Structure 1
């Protein structure tokens, strides 16, 4: 998304040639491949852990920190290793996003019209909000001290980084569609008229 925004704002006349179907396939393949390797790492680690405290996880999905709590072996080195790999993946994505948005904001601030700057910022800020929510809650979930851990807090944080960003993304990006906004306004007006 950051690269798409960068090309759309910084190289708008070349957007069609840069973001062609081949580029989209390459970006999707890179995302799928890195996600697969990351999942493979977690799966291999999970299946190699001896569990001696039952198999009930106090979450709505099998999250790695919760599985490590069930381990009877010393899981400290495994947890540190997973955190290092996670930090490397996250840091790489974070640096890419920061570099893209620095270039985007530099280009946007050079736009002479207020309306043009507003349009460019309104296109970028929802993406930054979702990414910030995801990164901040996932960093908190994985890097918080054990003294702050409680089942309720762990559940809330897990929902915030695993459910909310994917659920909010389509809403944010579809609300930029004028026809959808108009249809939503008509639906709200219809509901309000029926309630009277």
Structure 2
């Protein structure tokens, strides 16, 4: 296969469903309803929290952020997949593919960070209840979300820009439903060692660190609960968990 310059690449082909018409029919009948349920369910969460002043707390603010992120992540891939199935056209433009990779990475990383932030919020609420209002100030909560979004955007942009330097072969078939970073890199004819290293580093940092940020707070919460006198303090714990 002769390599082609990256500027000459016009489109990629998403071929996961090309040879399976039955699976195409099943997905096209199920995914629109699942997508609408996802969108409407998350919108209802956002509207319910926004309309009820009693829910204007850090926990529900982070929940709204997570719901909005879920809407964006689903919208990054599902509509294009459904259009391809409906039109029987498996192509996606070069710019469209890079854009899809960019947004999928942003919202996937951001979801990990938001889950870690929510775990930290529960840790402060349970283990430091008297300082909760001081620590989880509204501007601090907004800052946590914005910093998470900034880090996710920078990493996604770095991966996307690195793809612009790659040269691709004539065979531009992606065996997936959408443009996945690793699959696109595998199609390159030029050296991809730097891209692969970046993937491993990003997976460790933006997968492992948020995972640790989720596990450690809940470990502290469980250990704090186990140290409480069983009846009275356990009741207080569940009231704190419910009301925060």
- Per the normalisation by structure 2, the TM-score is 0.44
Specify which of 199, 202, 219 is matched with residue 102 of structure 1: 219
Specify which of 65, 72, 90 is matched with residue 189 of structure 2: 72
Superimposed CA distance per residue, residues 18-48 of structure 1 (whole angstroms, 9 cap, x where no aligned partner): 2121111111111111111111111112222
Give secondary structure in 1 for the equivalent of 2:174: coil
Q: How many residues align?
A: 125
Tell me whether 1:60 sits opposite 2:141 in the alignment.
no
Q: Which runs of 4+ in 1 moved over 4 A?
A: 114-121
Q: Tell me if structure 2 keeps the 8 A contact 1:68–1:75.
A: yes
Q: Tell me if structure 2 keeps the 8 A contact 1:53–1:71.
A: no
C-alpha separation in 2, matches of 1:51 and 1:118: 61
Q: What's the C-alpha RMSD, in Å, of the aligned pairs?
A: 3.0
- Per the normalisation by structure 1, the TM-score is 0.54
Q: Flag the 1:116–1:63 CA change in 2: closer, same or farther, 3 A.
A: farther
Unaligned runs of 5+ in 1: 125-175, 178-196
Superimposed CA distance per residue, residues 49-91 of structure 1 (whole angstroms, 9 cap, x where no aligned partner): 2111443322222111110121112324421232123212323
Q: Tell me if structure 1 keeps the 8 A contact 2:159–2:198.
A: no
Q: Which has the higher contact order (CA 8 A, sep 6+)?
A: 2
C-alpha separation in 1, matches of 2:170 and 2:143: 43
Partner of 1:35: 152
Q: Flag the 1:65–1:118 CA change in 2: closer, same or farther, 3 A.
A: farther
Partner of 1:50: 167
C-alpha separation in 1, matches of 2:225 and 2:138: 26
Q: Flag the 1:10–1:115 CA change in 2: closer, same or farther, 3 A.
A: same
Q: Flag the 1:51–1:25 CA change in 2: closer, same or farther, 3 A.
A: same
Unaligned runs of 5+ in 2: 1-117
* Deviation, structure 1 residue 120: 5.8
* Deviation, structure 1 residue 114: 5.3
